[in-house]
């Protein structure tokens, strides 16, 4: 690749990141805008309004965590300064830790909002405990499945890390 092509590609890459950021922020703004009429609609059910606020806060926290874990700058610094073995181990460890900590940075932030939403639904005359229970079971199954799948993934990665050490 010529120097000009590489510069153009690097710029394209930066533009792609900018576009992705704009898309993410737009989606968040859209979610907030859409939440306002819903909050007005459910104003007589304060629990639902609070739950929506908590779910939005949880989503923002997850988005921040994703951003923190995808820094190009630190990737390049490590790729250049570490030996291949060290880098490979670090990448495996990073992914293993992300899988293991999925409860704290992906599932836990969504729990308060989801729980409050379910309680609110149970107290709403139009829905009632039956519907809330159905969603509670579905959410719990989804959370457990995500947690177990990630734990299994972390175990596989740990095996690879152990193989590197042996």
Partner 1 sequence: MADNRPTRDDLYTEAVASCGSALDRLARAYEVDPDKRRDLLQEIHVALWQSFEDFEGRCSLKTWVYRVAHNTATSVVIRKKMRAPALVDLEEVDASVQNESEQVLDHQATLDRVWALIQKLKPQDKQVILLYLEGMDSALIGEITGFSPGNVATKIHRIKNLLSRKFHQGERSAK
Helix, strand, coil shares of the chain, percent, nearest 5, are 90, 0, 10
Q: Does 24 bind partner 1 (CB under 8 A)?
A: no
For partner 1, give the closer residue by CB, 45 or 87.
87
Residue 132's CB is within 10 A of a number of other CB atoms, namely 18
Among 31, 32, 56, 95, binds partner 1 (CB under 8 A): 95
Of the candidate spans 1-9, 49-57, 109-117, 129-137, the one that interacts with partner 1 by CB under 8 A turns out to be: 1-9
Site for partner 1 in 60-89 (CB under 8 A): 72, 75-88
Q: Does 59 bind partner 1 (CB under 8 A)?
A: no
Site string for partner 1, 136-165 (x = CB under 8 A): ----------------------------x-
For partner 1, give the closer residue by CB, 52 or 106.
106
Among 28, 31, 53, 91, binds partner 1 (CB under 8 A): 91
Half-sphere exposure of 88 (CA within 13 A, CB side): 9
What's the first-to-final CA gap in the chain, in angstroms?
39
Q: Does 9 bind partner 1 (CB under 8 A)?
A: yes
- φ, ψ for residue 125, nearest 5 deg: -60, -35
- φ, ψ for residue 98, nearest 5 deg: -65, -40
Give the helix ranges, DSSP H, for 42-127.
46-69, 72-81, 84-100, 102, 111-123
What is the smallest separation between the CB atom of 90 and partner 1, expressed in angstroms? 9
Query: Tokens standing for 55?
Result: 């779910």
Query: Which residues would be at the binding site for partner 1 (CB under 8 A)?
Result: 1, 3, 5-7, 9-10, 13, 72, 75-88, 91-92, 95, 164
């Amino acid at each position: 690749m010529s120097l000009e092509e590489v510069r153009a590609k690097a710029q394209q890459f930066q533009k792609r990141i900018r576009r992705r950021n704009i898309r993410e922020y737009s989606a968040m703004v859209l979610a907030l805008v859409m939440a306002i009429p819903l909050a007005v609609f459910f104003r007589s059910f304060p629990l639902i309004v609070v739950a929506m606020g908590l779910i939005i806060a949880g989503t923002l926290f997850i988005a921040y965590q994703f951003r923190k874990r995808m820094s190009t700058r630190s990737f390049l610094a490590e790729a250049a300064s570490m030996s291949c073995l060290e880098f490979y181990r670090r990448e495996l460890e990073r992914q293993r830790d992300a899988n293991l900590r999925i409860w704290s940075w992906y599932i836990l932030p969504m729990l308060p909002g989801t729980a409050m939403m379910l309680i609110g639904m149970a107290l709403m005359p139009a829905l009632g405990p039956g519907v809330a229970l159905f969603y509670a079971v579905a959410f719990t199954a989804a959370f457990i499945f995500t947690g177990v799948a990630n734990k299994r993934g972390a175990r596989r990665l740990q095996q690879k890390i152990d193989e590197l050490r042996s």
